[in-house]
Amino acid sequence: MNNVIQFMKRNYKILLVIITLSVALWSFIPKEKASDPEKDKLLIELLAFVIEKGHYNPAAIDDAFSKGVYKDYLNALDPSKRFFLQSDIDEFTKYETKIDDFIREKDLTFFDLTYARLMKRMDESKSYYKEALANPFDYKKDENFNTDYETMPYSKNVQELKERWRLQLKLSALSSLVEKQKLEEDKLKNKEAIKKSEPKTFQQLEKETRESTLNSLNDNFNFIADLNREDWFSVYVNAIASRFDPHTSYMAPSEKERFDVSMSGKLEGIGARLQKKGDFTEISELISGGPAWRGKQLESGDMVLKVAQGDAEPVDVVGMRLDDVVKKIKGPKGTEVRLTVKKTDGTIKVITIIRDEVEIEETYVKSSIVEKDGFKYGVIYLPKFYINFEDINSRDAGKDVAIEVERLKNEGVQGIVMDVRDNGGGSLKTVVDIAGLFIEQGPIVQIKSAAGKKEVLYDRDIKVQWDGPLVVMINEFSASASEILAAAIQDYKRGVIIGSKQSYGKGTVQNVIDLNQFVRGSTYGDLGALKTTTQKFYRINGGSTQLEGVKSDIAIPDKYSYLKMGERDIDNAMPWDKIDPADFKIWDKQNNFDLAIAESKTRMKNNAQMKLIDENAKWLDERNKENVYSLNIDKFKAEQKLLEDKNKKYKSIVDYKNAFEFKSLPYEIESMNNDSVLKEKRDRWHESLSKDIYIEEAIHILNDLQSENKKGLSSKVKKDKLVKS
């Protein structure tokens, strides 16, 4: 909901320009570092070998493939077309159909050329933005800027490129200036605020916006200077890998480590998130329950100056790459690390921390309880299908969901909402385990390998942990494992699927292959890993979830309804197909299943809030196609006023509040009494649920799924309570 608020407050295309300035730039200026071309050649050779041998359906490495790599790679290097000139592109174009040959021959000519040219152009660009921001912008001049980078041509010469920088920076500064003016106008209405400080003049505000933009760009350029040639070669390698399909990618050693952490939900270290701030590394957040959090000495805002391992001499980390600082601070459980930090009050302190296993709580399942009409319902939110493959005794999504279901049963719930919105997937094993909680036994998903061999994954446990009413919530970002779960529940007719018109549409399985295993006695160091598509999965009814995803039983509009963002919108996505269905028996213990769906559809049809959401989604789609913005301040303000007036119509979407109160389970309430961070996180989650119209409808559906006998009993209980009171 917070994203919606920001989205509706101002035109998101303007934000995109600002984000481009602060993100695209810091992604693209590396620091030169010695690199071994032989290692790069080996990496290319391994990539081609592993993909051709292990991919589900490897594309032919030919001229068409080469053109795809060429396009994707240049777009990754310069997405806003603010570095390369048309003359550079003319020079690059002769290699457009040769990349396939370069892959086979392990030839780095194209990469070396583009890398060297990009470094040159980026170094030159520093003077462009400094020159553009040196003097006040003329906001009375009639100028426009088009933010459609995809169709935008490359600049013909340096002068044209400088002008592009100037216009883009002017738009960025103008949007900030207008916001600052609004704040000053609000201050004029407040006498107390005027007493504290005089309102700023236009000239002061204009100067502030330029200085702020300049400082931001300087910081970003300093930050991205940490990147090196290896980082850039990873971009090239990924442009090659991703042409086989969108989910095949190369993972450099640090990226592989992050992937493992995201899958397991835990790491070993001190339990702190770090961020770069100039030459310094700042503690941005302490992970609740981690060793740094338990020690109560390290705080958000502390600057790390030195790091020492146990009794060893401290190493100065000022100016060091963030990844390298992280490597020094992280380490095996039980080992000691000493951090020399500068506190926010300016004092210098040495803090000793014993590393431990840190669980990233946001990764894990959580549940809440809500009541309606005398019935008690449970909401289970699963952000990821996590598992730790190296430790069978560790937490995994399957075991944790089973625990939450049991806890909810103990609280006497009479229906469960399984929320996998925004869940991008994870472990197949955990999907089978979770789906198995809701059926007696039977197939959950079918898998087909490159050789054509079909495998069916079964739930073989006859026990049904939850046999009551069930609703599964999905959206456009529910992908992979989430779609398997929703598809299985839908095919068994075990529960009602509600949410977006369809889920993401990722029906493929990836395996992570360690590239080091193919090279014995390598002196090149860690070569990273390749995540490649090795299988496709199919519903038990035989249809693939690839491209089509899972279509909701009850489709509910949301702000993304008309925007392109699914697998079906990616040019090289694998196709949809179908195989024979598995042998399964439809769940027959939910008598009013079809009635509940019909009731919900009627509610949706007559729901004014849903109509407004759909209308807003169409408007956002229209706004997405508008790319030209006036740089004249009066015209810009007029445009923004029209947008704001339009936004007022949709304000009730943001302000919406349902009639339910969401509560934590008793065991968690005890934990929150001793953990203020956890309490704050749960309070925020419950607040977001109370503003969630989709959760509200899920609860209504659970109510409709109750048997008539239970409804009658509930009404009697309510009447008895009223009489007694």
Q: Cα–chain-centroid distance for residue 81?
A: 25
Q: How many C-alpha atoms does 513 have within 13 Å on its Cβ side?
A: 23
- Of 96, 135, 139, residue with least CA distance to 114: 96
Alpha helices (runs of H) in 133-199, residue ranges in sequence order: 158-188, 191-196
Distance of alpha carbon 554 from alpha carbon 600, whole angstroms? 7
442: left (phi over 0), alpha (psi -120 to 50) or beta: left
- Of 477, 558, 512, 630, residue with least CA distance to 263: 512
Strand, helix or coil at 276?
strand
Give me 483's structure tokens. Answer: 């779609």
Distance of alpha carbon 698 from alpha carbon 596, whole angstroms? 11
3 state SS for 560-627: CCCCCCCHHHCCCCCCCCECCCCCCCCCCCCCCHHHHHHHHHHHHHHCHHHHHHHHHHHHHHHHHCCC
Can 480 be counted among the known catalytic residues? yes
Amino acid at 354: I
CB 244, CB 533: distance < 8 Å: yes
Give me 93's structure tokens. Answer: 């174009």
Query: What is 339-399 written as a DSSP string?
Result: EEEE-TTS-EEEEEEE-EEEE-GGGS-EEEEEEETTEEEEEEE-S-B---TT-TTS--HHH
Q: Which residue is it, tokens 């470094």? A: 119
Distance of alpha carbon 66 from alpha carbon 94, whole angstroms? 12
Quick one: DSSP state of residue 282? E
Q: CA torsion, points 387, 388, 391, 397, in degrees to nearest 10?
A: -20
- Of 227, 341, 225, residue with least CA distance to 278: 225
Distance of alpha carbon 408 from alpha carbon 402, whole angstroms? 10
Q: ∠ CA 259-262-263 to the nearest 5 degrees?
A: 85
Which one of the listed residues 400, 433, 491, 553 is annotated catalytic? 491
Helices 666-674, 676-690: axis angle to 10 degrees equals 130
Can 491 be counted among the known catalytic residues? yes
Give me 3's structure tokens. Answer: 């994203």
Contacts of 418 (CB under 8 A, 6+ apart): 380, 382, 470, 471, 472, 473, 485, 489, 495
Q: ∠ CA 344-684-498 to the nearest 5 degrees?
A: 145
Q: Which long-range contacts (CB under 8 A, 24 or more apart) does 592-598 make?
A: 592/704, 592/705, 592/707, 593/493, 593/496, 593/705, 595/704, 596/496, 596/701, 596/704, 596/705, 597/496, 597/553, 597/554, 597/701
Rounded to 5 degrees, what are φ and ψ at 133?
-100, 5
Which one of the listed residues 448, 506, 531, 559 is annotated catalytic? 506
Distance of alpha carbon 438 from alpha carbon 128, whole angstroms? 61
Q: Which residue is it, tokens 């919105």? A: 421
Quick one: DSSP state of residue 537? E
Which one of the listed residues 80, 427, 480, 600 is annotated catalytic? 480
Distance of alpha carbon 337 from alpha carbon 355, whole angstroms? 7
Q: How far is CA 262 from CA 385, 434, 534, in A?
A: 10, 19, 21
Q: Which residues are catalytic?
A: 480, 491, 506
